[in-house]
Amino acid sequence: MNFFKPTYLFIAGVAIYLLSFFLPVLQVSLGVKLAGWEVTALHFSELAFIDSIPAYFGFLFTALVNFWVVGLIVGYFFERNNLKLFSLVALAIASSFSWLFQFEHSSVLLWGYYTWLLSIVLIVMGRVLKAKS
């Protein structure tokens, strides 16, 4: 049994991805820890405070990462276009890793974030390996 089969990587990635929304992802002031779904909702609420075009595009780059991952998941079953696949892969990887550079101290990112990041890498690996086969 080969664990590195695209299907196994993809299924593991999706399962971990779903789990990561219930894990502590971010620690904010006064030691409050937010789960993944709370961080996602809080991030979208920032849209009301954007005051410039560059800030808006920066917001979209980080806020839409979960939509790109969902696109990768749905595309696993339907999509056969490699250009779309590699565009989604590039966007998902770049924007998910960008969270590491957005915070002055990486100590605000908790183990749920790294679990979420691992899940995206597994989903990407499953999709890319499937596309190559």
**CA distances for 119 relative to 33, 46, 57, 71, angstroms:** 20, 25, 25, 14
pLDDT tens sequence across 9-66: 999 999 999 999 999 999 988 888 999 999 888 888 887 788 888 888 888 888 889 9
| Among 47, 82, 83, CA closest to 64 | 47
**Residue 75, both tokens:** 């595309």
pTM of the entire structure?
A: 0.88
The answer for 52, left when phi > 0, alpha when psi is -120 to 50, beta otherwise, is beta
Say how far apart CA 100 and CA 96 lie, in whole Å: 8
Say how far apart CA 75 and CA 6 lie, in whole Å: 14
pLDDT tens sequence across 74-120: 999 887 788 888 999 999 999 999 888 877 666 788 999 999 999 99
| Among 85, 44, 92, CA closest to 68 | 92
